[in-house]
Amino acid sequence: MLAIARAAVLHQWEEKLNARIAAVISNRPDARGLQLASNMGLTTQVVDHTAFADRPDPRTAFDDVLRQTIDSYEPTLVVLAGFMRILTPGFVVHYEGRLLNIHPSLLPAFAGLHTHQRAIDAGCRFAGATVHQVTTELDHGPILAQAVVPVLPDDSADTLAARVLTQEHVIYPQAIEIFLKSHV
């Protein structure tokens, strides 16, 4: 989130692309990104997923409130950054074509969780990150950008994750900017 917000300022997205970060919304009240966003003067809001645990269908109830919250800002584009929840098909379809995510693997390989350890266990020589459009199939949307990093012989999941994260911070803002330019 911070890399994206910084890129928006540095590359003057509002002036050049008529695009601004309308809000940073988190499902976790203690998310570090909320404070960082607030420090940058960005609007923040929380839709705490734990508040929906006792509902008959907590995922749908949460997604409905999240969608309403996002829609109140009238976004052209919705960017997931550090959002670790599987969204319902109805939510994804609502934002079809304008919902982006980043995944810490070279999709289509290693969709889902524990990507770095799975890449190491599989003997991969390379790992990386993928920016993609979100579809109803988990981690399987059209690919917008990828970055490759080597898997080193002494890598742990944590050391590999750290190298991949540095590339995520580079390619995600770039992919967003390219997406915005092609949809202006």
**What is the pLDDT, as a whole number, of residue 184?**
62
pTM: 0.94
Structural domains counted in the chain: 1
The question of whether 103 is a catalytic residue gets the answer: yes
Q: What is the pLDDT along the chain (184 residues), one digit of tens a residue?
A: 999 999 999 999 999 999 999 999 999 999 999 999 999 999 999 999 999 988 888 999 999 999 999 999 999 999 999 898 999 999 999 999 999 999 999 999 999 999 999 999 999 999 999 999 999 999 999 999 999 999 999 999 999 999 999 999 999 999 999 999 998 6
Structural domain including 64 reads 2-182
Distance CA 127, CA 28 (A): 28
Distance CA 100, CA 3 (A): 15
Q: Which of 11, 49, 94, 103 is labelled catalytic?
A: 103
Instruction: Report how far apart, in Å, the C-alpha atoms of 44 and of each of 40, 51, 71, 175 are.
Output: 11, 18, 14, 23
CATH of the domain at 67: 3.40.50.170
